[in-house]
């Protein structure tokens, strides 16, 4: 995680929203959000038509605590 604290608040907000949206956007029902599913969440939250995969990956990195490349319940149920 390279970048500094300036985005922390935003990411907390994202976290809440992603948790809320998790099941809605987990389209293949495997209890994980992969990059493409996360991208849909972010686009919908921000009302964006496009978000680069690079940006999605950056956000993914902040949520993917166990580093398996997807957001799952075990990631977001962690503290911090």
Binding residues for Ca ion (CB under 5 A): 26, 28, 30, 32, 64, 66, 68, 75
Closest separation in Å from C-beta 5 to Ca ion: 22
Three-class SS of residue 37?
Answer: helix
Closest separation in Å from C-beta 34 to Ca ion: 6
Measured from the CB atom, the residue of 46 and 68 that comes closer to Ca ion is 68
Q: In b/e form, how buried is each residue of 56-66, taking b as 16+ CB within 10 angstroms? A: beebbebbbee
Residue 38 C-alpha from the chain's centroid? 5
Closest separation in Å from C-beta 36 to Ca ion: 9
């Amino acid at each position: 995680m390279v970048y500094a604290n300036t985005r922390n608040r935003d990411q907390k907000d994202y976290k809440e929203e992603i948790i809320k949206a998790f099941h809605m956007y987990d389209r293949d029902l495997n209890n994980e959000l992969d990059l493409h599913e996360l991208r849909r969440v972010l686009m919908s939250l921000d009302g964006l038509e496009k978000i680069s995969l690079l940006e999605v990956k950056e956000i993914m990195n902040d949520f993917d605590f166990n580093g398996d490349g997807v957001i799952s319940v075990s990631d977001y149920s962690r503290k911090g």
